[in-house]
Structure 1
Amino acid sequence: MSKSTFSLPRSGSALALCAALALPGCQQASAPPAEPEPTPPVLQAGQLHYASNHPQLALLAVTEARPASVLRVELPARLVWNEERTQRIVPAFAGRVAAIRADLGQRVQAGTTLALLASPDFGQAQADAAKAQADQHLAQQALARQRELFTAGIVARKELEQAEADAARAHAESARALARTQLYGGGTGVSQQLALRSGIDGVVVERNLNPGQELRPDQGGPALFVVTDPRSLWVQIDAREGDLDSLRPGDRFTLQVGAYPGETFSGRVTASADAIDPATRTIKVRGVVDNADRRLKAEMLATAHVAENRSGGVVVPAQAVVLAGRTHQVYVQRAPGVFEPRSVTLAHEGPGEAIVASGLAAGEKIVAGNVLLLAQQWQALAQDAAPGTPPARAKDTHKDTQP
């Protein structure tokens, strides 16, 4: 009896111990296996080799270099008033604003009065014209008397010739004084009312005067009124030296503005400057764009798209080119997952595309996306492989879950 009573506790303890020992094993068997880390890239014979399962390969977009034929170039531009259809009105005489007859956005015809000035200086010009007319009338009467006396033999020819000269001078002075007042809208009387009139058909786009304002011709500042025909606008393009062959007078270009995304407007080059701006190193090119619906506005910033004909070289995305010191480089894909840097010479570098003159052939595949990531990886491995440089140790991102 005693043996059986002592054997029971021993067997129960053994079973409990076995259960305790078996529990961690069961837990370890149920845990998912850890994913193997990807093999890091290696640098061999001047080429960067990635394993086929490396996650960075999905980030490196690859494209083919294509032969250069037509290059689409984007250039900054600005819309301004067409100065051939614009008039800026300034006062010719000092005076005070007596009345304003036109406002912003108003359509006017040639000869329309925009404002009236009370101008003593213009009144003086009117008075001078009236005096000149009176002097001319008096000189004509004197000439008529001298002719009668000369016919009667009372006066000498010399006196008649002097009267004819005086009449001619009086006529010239009267014509000059009258033309001066008529140029600014004055009649034969003295009213001291100077009318500011539009000389063209158009729309008032600026008004820089107020009622009662004192004005002087020498005070400077903006024009009192700006009248223009907004159905045609000028385009000022900042071009580089290499773009001038495609921006000659008569060449076409397209225009895009931020206010109308996805829409393009057609323009034509009319003139270009003969000097380079020393501050921006660009050349001012002027074009004209039709604006019959008046959707475009002056001082809008725009982008001019120009098609340039290129012969020789290959076209690559601009983001595929990186600068290593003073050398331009691209990364060529030699095989899937194998890349090498290639020094190239650029014939053109724009915001969207670049032309490689030498160092790359058409059809070769280059990295066009996340190129800086590849360049940094190459630089890190190159530094590790340099003599006297301790190898870089990769960070261990695996966390041990065991206590």
Structure 2
Amino acid sequence: MKRCGVWWLCAVLALAGCGGKAAAPQAAEPKLSREGGLVSVAADSPLRSSLVVEAVQTQALSLTIDAPGVIEAMPERVVKITPPLVGRIVKLQHGLGDAVYAGELLVTLDSAELAAAYSDNAKAQALLQQARREFARQESLMQDNIPARKEFEAAQLALAAAENDARASSERLAQLGVAVQAQSHREYGLRSPIAGRVVELSGAQGGYWNDVTAPLMTVADLSSVWVSASIAEKDIAQMFVGQDAHIKLNAYGEQVFSGRVKYIGDLLDPETRTVKVRVLVDNRQGQFKPGMFARATFAGQSHQAILVPASALVQSGLYTRVFVEHAPFQFESRMVTIGATVSSTVGEQVEILDGLQAGERVVTHNGVMLND
């Protein structure tokens, strides 16, 4: 019985040696020592061959700001043509898409209201002449002490009233933009106040226009338009008038257009926390249509900054740290304040706002192995 127990033990050991898996080799220890905030790497530590240490220098940094936008017509170059009186549309001189110059005739109306204005003016002028004659007669009689003082004063008041009525009727014609001595007292010509194109037309020839508050036609000068970009509150400090902008439109894929910042809004939208920045864009080719969506990219003002590779940063709880070389293979863990992240030919780099000085050497790769 004792011999069988020995045999069974030998068999188990042999089976374990043949069929059992060998234990995986353990990773080599980095062999670090810590003292007074410094981390030292032992001479025989394999970590020495994997750490990369580089000196940091100041570089010119120009931040890129990207923002959504929309194409808008310049308000002062869009005019809604509204007839100041009602009437029948006798003739449309221009239709949709037609180019017009400032002062060009757009629409001719046959208006009884215009005829009434001319009639009122004629009556007022006739009454004024009569009042002047009566006043002159009373003034002459007054000098000869013939009439009573009362009749002279009545003539004087009648003259003043007639002058006011005549002036009001003349100013009404002037407001309508018609000449007092026009050949026709019924035809009213509606003219364009600006040069541009007819972009909206609401009336038809032969129709009657009876709403003096509704635009019959809209003329717009779209040779230049706004790209209205929504700039986030955090980026406002990087914006300035005259700043170059690159514009991409959804309609034209990757084609890039150039513009320049002309106006930075004075009011912040409390809901989106953005400010409207308007970029002036040349649109003589007519590619920009008001209402189109766009993407605007701005280059911020250049400034000197300390940049480190993103791989140099080590997250330690709520703080960001880098390992600064204190002596060969001896490093100090230092908390830093980071700024913008930029892409370059050597990869992503991060701006250091505080915690590093130019010329200091930091661990740029595998610094996480030094962390607690």
Query: What range describes the TM-score normalised by the shorter chain of this pair?
Result: 0.5 to 0.7
The answer for the alignment partner of 2:36 in structure 1 is none
* Residue identity matched to 2:257: T
Shift of 1:162: 4.2
**Superposed, which structure 2 residues align to 1:3-402 within 5 Å?**
69-156=61-148, 159-188=151-180, 191-211=185-205, 212-218=207-213, 223-258=215-250, 259=252, 261-269=254-262, 271-309=263-301, 312=305, 314=307, 347=339
3-state secondary structure, aligned to 1:135: helix
Displacement, 1:70? 0.3
Cα deviation for residue 96 of structure 1 reads 3.7
Between the aligned residues of both structures, percent identity stands at 28
More strand by share: 2
Conserved 8 A contact 1:65-1:364: no
8 Å Cα contact 1:255/1:305 also seen in 2:
yes
Residue 305 of structure 1 deviates from its aligned partner by 1.9
Q: What CA deviation, in whole Å up to 9, does each residue of 1:238-270 have, x standing for no partner? A: 11112323333344433333427343323232x
- In structure 2, the CA distance between the partners of 1:94 and 1:205, relative to structure 1 (3 Å rule), is same
Contact 1:65 1:365 in 2 (8 A): no
Contact 2:92/2:106 (<8 A) preserved: yes
Over 3 Å counting, the alpha-carbon distance change for 1:154 and 1:208 in structure 2 is same
Q: Deviations over 1:309-344 (max 9, x none)?
A: 356564889xx9xxx9x98999xxxxxxxxxxxx99
Kindly provide the amino acid, as one letter, of the partner of residue 217 in structure 1: V
Computed over aligned residues only, the root mean square deviation of the Cα atoms, in angstroms, reads 4.3
Deviation larger for 126-135 or 182-191: 182-191
Preserved contact between residue 96 and residue 119 of structure 1 (Cα < 8 Å): yes
Q: State the TM-score, normalizing by the size of structure 1.
A: 0.58
Listed one character per residue, the Cα deviations across residues 8-36 of structure 1 (whole Å, up to 9, x for unaligned) are xxxxxxxxxxxxxxxxxxxxxxxxxxxxx
For the residues of structure 2 that align with 1:92 and 1:78, how far apart are their CA atoms?
33
> Gaps (5+ residues) in structure 1?
1-38, 46-63, 331-342, 367-403
Query: Could you list the runs of 5+ residues in structure 2 that have no partner in the other structure?
Result: 1-23, 31-55, 322-334, 366-372
Matching residue of 2:47:
none
Say if 1:185 and 1:345 are closer, same or farther in 2 by CA, change over 3 A. same
What secondary structure does 1:175 align onto? Answer: helix
Q: Secondary structure at 1:283's aligned position in 2?
A: strand
8 A Cα contact 1:234 1:289, kept in partner: yes
Shift of 1:114: 1.2
Q: Matched residues in 2 for 1:204 and 1:68: separation?
A: 49
Write the deviation string for residues 54-82 of structure 1: whole angstroms up to 9, x where unpaired. xxxxxxxxxx9996710111222222222
Aligned partner letter, 1:79: I
Aligned to 1:61: none
Counterpart-to-counterpart distance in 2, 1:304 and 1:287: 9
Distance in 2 between the 1:92 and 1:351 partners? Answer: 59
